[in-house]
Amino acid sequence: MKKFLQQTALAAGLMAVGFGVHAQTITLKVHHFLGPQSIQHTTMMGEWCKNIAKDSNNRLQCQIFPAMQLGGTPVQLFDQTRDGVVDVAWTLQAYTAKLQKLEVFELPFMMTNAEATSRAAWDYAQKFAADDMKDVKMLAVHVHGPGNIYTKSKAVTTMADLKGLKVRAPTRQVNKMIAMMGATPVAMPVPQVTEALSKGVIDGAVIPYEVAPGLKVQELTNFTAETDRSYNALYTTVFVVPMNKAKYESLPADLKAVIDKNSGREFSAFLGKTQAGQDVPSKQAFVDAKNQKISVIPKTELENWKKATDSLDDAWVKEMTAKGMDGKAMLDGATALIKQYTK
């Protein structure tokens, strides 16, 4: 009897230990380069963290670190995730050279809307860029809403108005587009835009409405040029949400399933739709600003802009093909996927 009781106690103890390990809370470190008031912090990654907590009965938690609080620079975010410095990051494709295949979505006039194009970007990434993402567990690939042109000294209503202006652009392809339309592109991360505008380093910038008020663009410029929203967007930017692969693989099967449920095409679409959705309230800051004049570039003028920059598509295909890839299949695949998801 005594032996039986000892065995029962031992079994109960082992079960308790097993349950304790199973029920242990795992906190993921999430890192990004924008501020704590940004939509990326509060809603995009914030909602993801709430969802994985809910779906895991709070066994998965997040601690989100904004504004590079864990150190490093924005261009290091992908590597920080790959190397396990952080568990999850939200960052730009443009900061991650090895993800250049995703750049196709940043070509001029590719995007229809952010939700559809984000779904397309996720599917495209699985087909054409899976090998480039193999060192991480990719959770999402998405884009932002249509970019606008903000200028200090004169309104932009035609392509000729851009001539001679120094304009901040976010990515390699957008820099090329700006140059082809007559402006001088100035590459810089988005947090530097405020100081660059205030010191006259640049005459204007191209960014979506969503991020502009946080940079005080409505105060530092006087003119906003939107493109006709029934036409494909002037440009967009690709973002990625990588997770440390070893961290993901260390999770028990049921928690891996929680991560899987909250990643992929629909998470990508949510991020794109949410970020683009912030364009509406953010635009109000420009409507309310007494110094701002907002104009819309009509389709007829945008056709001229498209013709002037169409060769960028061919140049990108040629560049990818020279690196041993099927550049045409990649461009055609991205275009077809955007069309498939656009309603």
Q: pLDDT digits over 35-63, tens only?
A: 999 999 999 999 999 999 999 999 999 99
Name residues whose C-beta falls within 8 Å of residue 126's C-beta, 6 or more positions apart in sequence: none
Taking the C-alpha atoms of residue 106 and residue 195, their distance in angstroms, rounded to an integer, is: 25
Choice among 23-37, 133-147, 311-325 with the minimum mean pLDDT: 23-37
Taking the C-alpha atoms of residue 92 and residue 142, their distance in angstroms, rounded to an integer, is: 10
| Whether 143 contacts 105, CB under 8 Å | yes
Unique residue bearing structure tokens 């066994």: 59
Q: In terms of C-beta distances under 8 Å and separation of at least 24 residues, what long-range contacts does 5-9 make, across chains too?
A: none
Choice among 17-31, 106-120, 166-180, 208-222 with the minimum mean pLDDT: 17-31
**Where do the domains of the chain lie?**
24-144+238-343
Taking the C-alpha atoms of residue 140 and residue 322, their distance in angstroms, rounded to an integer, is: 28
Q: What is the mean pLDDT of residues 192-210?
A: 97
| Whether 237 contacts 144, CB under 8 Å | yes
pLDDT band at 15 (very low <50, low <70, confident <90, very high): very low
**Number of residues in the chain:** 343
Taking the C-alpha atoms of residue 279 and residue 212, their distance in angstroms, rounded to an integer, is: 9
Taking the C-alpha atoms of residue 192 and residue 48, their distance in angstroms, rounded to an integer, is: 28
| CATH topology for the 24-144+238-343 domain | D-Maltodextrin-Binding Protein; domain 2 (3.40.190)
More confident residue, 99 or 6: 99
Q: What is the mean pLDDT of residues 181-186?
A: 97
Q: What is the mean pLDDT of residues 158-174?
A: 96
Beta strands at 293-297 and 223-227: parallel, antiparallel or unpaired: parallel
Taking the C-alpha atoms of residue 243 and residue 29, their distance in angstroms, rounded to an integer, is: 10
Would the pLDDT of 4 be above 90?
no
The half-sphere exposure of 133 on its side-chain side, counting CA atoms within 13 A, is 21
Give me the pLDDT at residue 189, please.
Answer: 86
Would the pLDDT of 29 be above 50?
yes
Taking the C-alpha atoms of residue 341 and residue 322, their distance in angstroms, rounded to an integer, is: 30
Give me the pLDDT at residue 23, please.
Answer: 66
Would the pLDDT of 13 be above 70?
no
Q: Helix or strand or coil: residue 220?
A: helix
Measured CA to CA in angstroms, residue 38 lies from 113, 166, 243, 312 at distances of 21, 27, 21, 32
Would the pLDDT of 26 be above 90?
yes
pTM score of the predicted model: 0.92
Taking the C-alpha atoms of residue 177 and residue 107, their distance in angstroms, rounded to an integer, is: 8
Give me the pLDDT at residue 302, please.
Answer: 98
SS3 per-residue string spanning 155-209: CCCCHHHHCCCEEEECCHHHHHHHHHCCCEEEECCHHHHHHHHHCCCCCEEEECH
Give me the pLDDT at residue 17, please.
Answer: 43
pLDDT averaged over every residue in the chain: 94
Question: What is the percent of the chain where pLDDT is above 90?
Answer: 91
Give me the pLDDT at residue 304, please.
Answer: 97
Would the pLDDT of 8 be above 60?
no
Other CB atoms within 10 A of residue 328 CB: 14
Triad 264, 281, 241: Cα angle to 5°:
20
Give me the pLDDT at residue 19, please.
Answer: 43
Other CB atoms within 10 A of residue 256 CB: 14
The tens digit of pLDDT for each residue in 73-130 reads: 999 999 999 999 999 999 999 999 999 999 999 999 999 999 999 999 999 999 999 9
At 305, list the tokens: 């802009």
Q: What is the mean pLDDT of residues 14-42?
A: 79
Q: What is the mean pLDDT of residues 170-185?
A: 96
Unique residue bearing structure tokens 């993921």: 28
